[in-house]
């Protein structure tokens, strides 16, 4: 297939991507931010906690027809970036989606200009990368420690001698005086794994337990530092999944430890640096507003002094780097406000340097060959690089295809205009292209998670923010003519109160907008909801509030010119019926259940409208957790009939706008895409080129220059394929 390799250049309001070469209480609420709402924990402001480990099961599938190619944009959740001290140009980037499992590693041989995936680590999240002075590399991964002796081209798995199902490693430290001595910080799995600090004295071949006695066994070891002058002096820092932190110090190689947490916030500690004199620790967590900041100690943690000040917009520190030639110069990455820099040991700070102020940066590293070259990994947007000591950063992610997309849409006025919505753990955004995906631009919408994008019939772009509300209010946003974004609501309060993902505009009334999802919060509960605005978003009416735990996934309007009859689909995991349909016959002012013909288990449903008859809609739905089906209505949702097909789990469904017999489905299992030519009675794989696409989430169909195209948003970027017909009709699933 033909893959477009893209590069980014960052600016103040956005990021332009240019083609460079052709080929409730805390921890109790859940959100509709992934396939199943049960997968994510969120606080009252919609801030997510790190997901528990999850890995997809690989399956042998036939991919069939279709000719998909990658559109981009480049990027992904980059946890760490490190440059080789021995091989000029070699840089490694570790991917850890949402800080959890299912990532990989990328390798560059041209100082980050282009990247290629490292096949040995495919599917394994990489949290930390450390080079020994001789060029040997150690990677902390979801699957123990991996090592490489050829600058990251090939890797060897090292076992730790502990439970192989609970051996995720978050940090590695190499003794600067003896690179055969390696320390590893290990997951606690909520207390299930009690070995959290280990040491190897033979380059990772064998390991011994060095966990501090008395440390909180529910906390992960998130960082380790070794005294460059005394290898027996080691500092280990810890973080809890949902809160809590510790700092421990040993001066005898781990035989005994002292708890040096007094004087520090009780929130998670994530990073530690020690130069033999000054100890620096940083931490915090957006989930639950658990601030920490940056602290320094000149006596190994007996006394602590804060180095952050009131100018810092975020006190969630993810990484620390110190210039080895000038220890007064410190760089700190933060989760939401970019990179901060001091050149006087912390007396004064430059905030969000080099245009990074809106980035959720996860790491900051100096190139060992040149301290003016700095690499940073950021959630969603990939790798950023500075060659002037941090005064300017540019995105450097060409070839990294790990951006987690949730929605894709095209403009009805210009099919070359494409918009995508993306999400990181607690950040995200909207990107657009005006040339069919050749180049991309990061919109200036608030840097929150986005669940949906859609163009109104007049070509105006809208997007639904899914929080956190601590960054910007959730709800619908509209792009204005000058490129700015306006929040439209609905606004139910200061916390995260509306979890929305369905968007539908009227083709007849420019003022009519419908939104669907669920309430979220202790005040409003978690009932499924539909919102209606009759004045283009100036005000909203909650026209439907249903069962607690259910979620409206899609909304369609019967295109008979009246806007009176509407159909919606909803997901549910409480009491039966678990999922199904809703119907309105008064312009969306009220809704009733429309379950006639549906099973009691019709989960994760999505809708599409048949082009031949405005009363005909198709609805995909899960029959169980292994099989899905497609239902059809010929009376605008009053009754439903199964098409008789049963197959792989479906993420989205799209109706071909020029042929009422042709439908496409994006699938969570089996082939990522399938096509039906008999009105959903049968489907065949339509996924050639999607072998590395990740999880499909959304589809859109458009027509550009007489060529019809099917677009797909996945957990690893967007893809496009031509479909075999030409028609001037535009259909975008972003209208649902």
Q: What is the pLDDT of residue 573?
A: 83
Residue 23: pLDDT over 50: no
The CA-based angle 310-312-317, given to 5 degrees, is 130
Report residue 636 as tokens.
Answer: 């605008």
Residues 6+ apart with CB under 8 A from 432: 417, 418, 419, 420, 440, 441, 443, 461
Is 540 domain-assigned?
Answer: yes
Is 129 domain-assigned?
Answer: no
Mean pLDDT of 31-43: 49
CA–CA gap between residue 161 and residue 344 (Å, rounded): 44
CA–CA gap between residue 462 and residue 508 (Å, rounded): 18
Mean pLDDT of 547-576: 94
Which of residues 191 and 4 earns the better pLDDT score? 191
Closest by CA to 410, choosing from 23, 67, 672, 698, is 698
Residues 6+ apart with CB under 8 A from 736: 502, 503, 504, 554, 555, 556, 606, 607, 608
Give the side-chain half-sphere CA count within 13 A for 515.
33
What residues are paired with 721 via a beta bridge? 710
Q: How confident is the model at residue 51 (pLDDT cuts 50, 70, 90)?
A: low
Is 517 domain-assigned?
Answer: yes
- Characterize 565-574 residue by residue with b for buried, 16 or more Cβ atoms within 10 angstroms of its Cβ, and e for exposed: bbbbbbbbbe
Which residue in this structure is represented by tokens 């950040």?
427
φ/ψ (deg, to 5) at 4: -85, 125
Is 564 domain-assigned?
Answer: yes
Cα–chain-centroid distance for residue 651? 17
Is 624 domain-assigned?
Answer: yes
Closest by CA to 393, choosing from 356, 365, 444, is 356
Q: How many domains does the chain have?
A: 1
Strand ranges of the sheet holding 617-622, from the earlier edge strand across to the other edge: 603-609, 617-622, 628-633, 641-647
Q: What is the pLDDT of residue 495?
A: 86
Q: What is the pLDDT of residues 53-82, one digit of tens each?
A: 434 433 344 556 889 999 999 999 999 999
pTM attached to this predicted model: 0.88
- With pLDDT > 90 as the criterion, what percentage of the chain qualifies? 81
- What is the per-residue DSSP string for 605-666? EEEEE-SS-TT-EEEEEESSSS-EEEEEESSTTSS-EEEEEEES-EEEEEE-TT-TT-EEEE
Which of residues 124 and 3 earns the better pLDDT score? 124
Q: What is the pLDDT of residue 47?
A: 63
Q: How confident is the model at residue 450 (pLDDT cuts 50, 70, 90)?
A: very high
Report residue 161 as tokens.
Answer: 């001698």
CA–CA gap between residue 138 and residue 618 (Å, rounded): 51
Q: What is the pLDDT of residues 322-340, one digit of tens each?
A: 999 999 999 999 999 999 9
Residue 732: pLDDT over 60: no
φ/ψ (deg, to 5) at 277: -125, -50
Is 609 domain-assigned?
Answer: yes
Residue 35: pLDDT over 50: no
Closest by CA to 114, choosing from 70, 82, 74, is 74
Is 466 domain-assigned?
Answer: no
Alpha carbon separation from 660 to 191, 271, 451, 721 (Å, rounded): 55, 57, 28, 19
| Helical (H) or strand (E) element with 20 | strand 15-21
End-to-end CA distance of the chain: 30
- With pLDDT > 70 as the criterion, what percentage of the chain qualifies? 89
Which of residues 196 and 573 earns the better pLDDT score? 196
Which of residues 561 and 8 earns the better pLDDT score? 561
Give the side-chain half-sphere CA count within 13 A for 349.
21
Number of helices (H), then strands (E), in the chain? 0, 57
Residue 309, judged by CB atoms within 10 A of its CB (0-12, 13-18, 19+), counts as middle
Q: What is the pLDDT of residue 46?
A: 61
Q: What is the pLDDT of residue 64?
A: 61
Mean pLDDT of 289-312: 96
Closest by CA to 717, choosing from 690, 701, 687, 693, is 693
Q: What is the pLDDT of residue 509?
A: 97
Residue 26: pLDDT over 60: no
* Residue 662, domain extent: 487-735
Q: Can you give 385-396 as a three-state secondary structure string? A: EECCCCCCCEEC
Q: What is the pLDDT of residue 95?
A: 97
**Residue 566's CATH number:** 2.130.10.10
- What is the per-residue DSSP string for 310-355? TT-S---EEEEEEETTEEEEEEEEEBTTEEEEESSTTSS-B-SGGG
Q: Can you give 505-527 as a three-state secondary structure string? A: ECCCCCCCEEEEEEECECCCECE
DSSP state of 403: -
CA–CA gap between residue 339 and residue 352 (Å, rounded): 5
* Other CB atoms within 10 A of residue 731 CB: 22
Mean pLDDT of the chain: 90
Which residue in this structure is represented by tokens 């986005």?
450
Q: What is the pLDDT of residues 648-705, one digit of tens each?
A: 999 999 999 989 999 999 999 999 999 999 999 999 999 999 998 889 999 999 976 6
Contact 603, 572 (CB under 8 A): yes
Q: How confident is the model at residue 138 (pLDDT cuts 50, 70, 90)?
A: very high
Query: Helix or strand or coil: residue 203?
Result: coil
Is 314 domain-assigned?
Answer: no
Q: What is the pLDDT of residues 398-425, one digit of tens each?
A: 999 999 999 999 999 999 999 999 998 8
- What is the per-residue DSSP string for 219-247? SEEEEEEEETTEEEEEEEEEE-SSS-EEE
What residues are paired with 566 via a beta bridge? 557, 584
CA–CA gap between residue 264 and residue 301 (Å, rounded): 9
Report residue 479 as tokens.
Answer: 């792009």
């Amino acid at each position: 297939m033909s893959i477009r390799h893209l590069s980014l250049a960052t600016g103040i309001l956005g990021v332009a991507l240019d083609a460079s070469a052709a080929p409730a209480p805390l921890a109790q609420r859940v959100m509709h931010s992934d396939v199943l709402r049960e997968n994510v924990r969120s606080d009252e402001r919609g801030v997510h906690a790190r997901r528990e480990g999850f890995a997809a099961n690989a399956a042998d599938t036939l991919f069939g027809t279709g000719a998909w190619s990658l559109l981009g944009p480049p990027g992904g959740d980059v946890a760490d970036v490190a440059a080789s001290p021995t091989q000029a140009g070699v840089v490694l980037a570790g991917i850890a989606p949402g800080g959890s499992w299912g990532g990989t590693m990328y390798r560059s041989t041209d100082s980050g200009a282009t990247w290629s995936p490292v096949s040995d680590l495919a599917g394994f999240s990489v949290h930390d990368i450390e080079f020994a002075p001789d060029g040997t590399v150690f990677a902390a991964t979801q699957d123990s420690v991996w090592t490489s002796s050829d600058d990251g081209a090939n890797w060897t798995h090292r076992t730790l001698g502990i439970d192989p199902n609970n051996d995720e490693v978050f940090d590695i430290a190499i003794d600067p005086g003896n690179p055969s001595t390696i320390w590893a910080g290990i997951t606690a799995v909520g207390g299930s794994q009690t070995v959290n600090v280990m040491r190897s004295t033979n380059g990772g071949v064998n390991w011994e337990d060095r966990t501090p006695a008395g440390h909180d066994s529910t906390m992960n070891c998130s960082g380790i530092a070794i005294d460059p002058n005394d290898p027996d002096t080691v500092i280990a820092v810890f973080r809890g999944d949902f809160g809590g932190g510790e700092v421990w110090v040993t001066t005898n190689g781990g035989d005994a430890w002292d708890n040096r947490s007094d004087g520090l916030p009780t929130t998670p500690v994530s990073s530690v640096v020690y130069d033999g004199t000054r100890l620096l620790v940083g931490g915090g967590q957006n989930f639950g507003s658990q601030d920490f900041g940056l602290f320094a100690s000149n006596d190994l943690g007996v006394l602590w002094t804060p180095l952050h000040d009131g100018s810092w917009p975020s006190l969630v520190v993810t990484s620390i780097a110190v210039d080895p030639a000038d220890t007064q110069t410190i760089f700190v990455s933060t989760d939401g406000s970019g990179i901060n820099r001091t050149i006087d040991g912390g007396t004064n700070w430059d905030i969000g340097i080099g245009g990074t102020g809106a980035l959720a940066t996860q790491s900051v590293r100096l190139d060992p060959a040149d301290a003016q070259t700095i690499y940073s990994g950021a959630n969603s947007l990939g790798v950023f690089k500075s060659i002037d000591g941090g005064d300017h950063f540019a995105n450097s992610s060409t070839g990294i295809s790990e951006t987690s997309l949730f929605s894709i849409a095209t403009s009805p006025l210009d099919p070359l205009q494409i918009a995508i919505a993306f999400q990181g753990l607690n950040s995200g955004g909207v990107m657009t292209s005006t040339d069919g995906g050749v180049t991309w631009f990061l919109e200036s919408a608030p840097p929150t998670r986005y669940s949906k994008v859609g163009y109104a019939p007049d070509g105006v772009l809208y997007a639904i923010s899914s929080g956190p509300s601590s960054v910007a209010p959730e709800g619908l946003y509209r792009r204005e003519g000058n490129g700015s974004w306006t929040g439209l609501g609905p606004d139910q309060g200061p916390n995260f109160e509306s979890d929305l993902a369905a968007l539908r505009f009227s083709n007849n009334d420019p003022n009519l907008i419908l939104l669907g999802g669920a309430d979220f919060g202790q005040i409003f509960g978690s009932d499924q909801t539909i919102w209606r605005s009759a004045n283009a978003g100036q005000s909203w009416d909650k026209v439907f509030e249903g069962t607690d735990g259910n979620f409206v996934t899609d909304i369609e309007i019967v295109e008979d010119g009246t806007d009176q009859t509407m159909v919606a689909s909803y997901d549910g995991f409480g009491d039966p019926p678990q999922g199904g349909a809703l119907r309105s016959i008064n312009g969306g002012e009220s809704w009733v259940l429309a379950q006639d013909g549906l099973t009691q288990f019709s989960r994760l449903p999505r809708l599409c409208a048949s082009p031949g008859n405005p009363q005909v809609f198709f609805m995909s739905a899960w029959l169980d957790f292994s099989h899905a089906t497609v239902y059809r209505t010929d009376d605008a949702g009053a009754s439903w009939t199964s098409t008789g097909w049963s197959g792989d789990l479906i993420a989205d469904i799209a109706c071909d706008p020029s042929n009422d017999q042709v439908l496409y489905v994006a699938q969570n299992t089996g082939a990522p895409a399938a096509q039906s030519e008999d009105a959903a009675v049968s489907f065949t794989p339509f996924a050639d080129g999607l072998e590395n696409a990740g999880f499909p989430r959304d589809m859109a169909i458009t027509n550009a220059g007489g060529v019809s195209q099917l677009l797909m948003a996945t957990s690893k970027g967007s893809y496009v394929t031509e479909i075999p017909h030409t028609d001037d009709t535009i259909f975008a699933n972003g209208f649902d």
